[in-house]
Amino acid sequence: QITLKESGPTLVKPTQTLTLTCTFSGFSLTTNKVGVAWIRQPPGKALEWLALIYWNDDKRYSPSLKSRLTITQDTSKNQVVLTMTNMDPVDTGTYYCAHRMVTTDGFDFWGQGTMVTVSS
Amino acid sequence: SYKLTQPPSVSVSPGQTARITCSGDALPKQYAYWYQQKPGQAPVLIIYKDTERPSGIPERFSGSTSGTKVTLTISGVQAEDEADYYCQSADSSATYSVFGGGTKLTVL
């Protein structure tokens, strides 16, 4: 059974760097075609795709946030880490990690999400 | 950057059919995916590759595609279907993905 869980700070100050960790089980990021994505959702607003890392370490980023994002994997720990620099109050929201379907680009398993507030 | 456009809201009475559209220039080239999200919960995948339904998703949910538009159809809408619905797809080069702005389905 595939599970994912996000962890990280609940409160960060403006200009700080956010580091979120997605710890997963039930699959391996060394398996062909597997991927893990980060998606966020400001309160009361739409989902926003942020970044994706594939089994082969190929990384994809949202064009509008690319300069601020870094996604990495630690296969020994079954973790994917997202860092976002220069945090701003508009970055407040729930951050989800999700498992990319092996055969196509949909996300079939999601974490519960972690709420991040950006405030001084 | 690439955008997917959805209507902000759709309202239907129980038992009727709800149709939620998603428009995007790359949809003829890229698959679309649909998610249902209820308050306080993570999204759930309900349609993948335009028309496929994951196991466990009721048959009343279906997807279709026509040119630059994809449609989620919910037949025989039930009160429990009241939720936000999001489409997702990739840009024409499959470099990155995007979500639509979401559609709030209200069951009257």
Q: Hey, are the CB atoms on B31 and A104 less than 8 Å from each other? A: yes
Residue with tokens 């998603």: B22
Cα distance from B98 to chain A (closest Cα, Å)? 6
Looking at residue A42, its pLDDT comes to 98
Looking at residue B57, its pLDDT comes to 98
* Mean model confidence pLDDT for chain B: 97
Asked if A74 is an interface residue toward chain B (Cβ–Cβ < 8 A), one would say no
* Other Cβ atoms within 10 Å of B51 Cβ, number: 13
Note the Cα A84 to chain centre separation in Å.
10
Q: Residue B22 in contact with residue B87, Cβ under 8 Å?
A: yes
Looking at residue A103, its pLDDT comes to 87
State the DSSP string of A57-111: --EEE-TTTGGGEEEEEETTTTEEEEEE-S--GGG-EEEEEEEEPSSSS-EEEE-
Q: Hey, are the CB atoms on A47 and B90 less than 8 Å from each other? A: no
- In this predicted model, what pLDDT tens digit does every residue of A50-108 receive, in sequence order? 999 999 999 999 999 999 999 999 989 999 999 999 999 999 999 999 999 988 889 99
Alpha carbon distances (Å) from B33 to A70, B52, B82, B86, B92: 25, 9, 18, 8, 15
Q: Residue A32 in contact with residue A13, Cβ under 8 Å?
A: no
Percent of chain B with pLDDT over 90: 100
Q: Which residues contact A73 (CB under 8 A, 6 or more apart)?
A: A29, A36, A53, A57, A79, A80, A81
Checking if the pLDDT of B60 tops 90, the result is yes
Checking if the pLDDT of A118 tops 90, the result is yes
- In this predicted model, what pLDDT tens digit does every residue of A40-60 receive, in sequence order? 999 999 999 999 999 999 999
User: In this complex, how many residue pairs, one in chain A and one in chain B, have their CB atoms less than 8 Å apart?
Assistant: 65
Question: What would the two tokens of residue B79 be?
Answer: 């009160």
Residues of B in contact with A5 (CB under 8 A): none
Q: Three-class SS of residue B81? A: helix
Mean pLDDT along residues B57-66: 98
